[in-house]
């Protein structure tokens, strides 16, 4: 199964970079991404490369696995999320599903 493309769900923590498009007072952000790949390491490499190309500063990546792995872990995956996963697979590209900026509260 290692040669079949599957979509991996990743959360990428990003730091600040000039022109990153984040709110001015944000300290960074978390981005939920879907990436089609043959295995998890490839998904991580591809996602980080695409975000860097986009002028972002990836710091850390957490993987939640493939759709089946997430279902096996009891995740509730709605139709919108499944649609974004399918889009990533159809377009063979990283899809950023959500960006959540971080702010200092102190």
Over residues 43-95, the pLDDT tens digits come to: 999 999 999 999 999 999 999 999 999 999 999 999 999 999 999 999 999 99
What's the pTM?
0.91
Q: Which residue has the higher pLDDT, 106 or 44?
A: 44
44 in Cβ contact with 10 (< 8 Å): yes
Compute the distance between CA of residue 96 and CA of residue 84 in angstroms, rounded to an integer: 9
Distance separating alpha carbons of residues 102 and 87, to the nearest angstrom:
27
Q: What is the pLDDT of residue 1?
A: 44
Model pLDDT, residue 3: 67
pLDDT for the residue 42: 97
């Amino acid at each position: 199964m290692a040669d079949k493309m599957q979509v991996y769900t990743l959360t990428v923590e990003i730091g600040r970079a000039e022109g990153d498009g984040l709110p001015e007072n944000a300290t960074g952000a978390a981005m939920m991404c879907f990436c089609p790949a043959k295995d998890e390491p490839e998904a991580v490499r591809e996602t980080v490369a695409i975000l860097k190309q986009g002028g972002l500063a990836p710091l850390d990546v957490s993987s939640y696995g493939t759709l089946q792995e997430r279902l096996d872990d009891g995740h509730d995956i709605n139709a919108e999320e499944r649609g974004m996963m399918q889009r990533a697979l159809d377009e063979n590209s990283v899809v950023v599903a959500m960006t959540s900026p971080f702010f200092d509260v102190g």
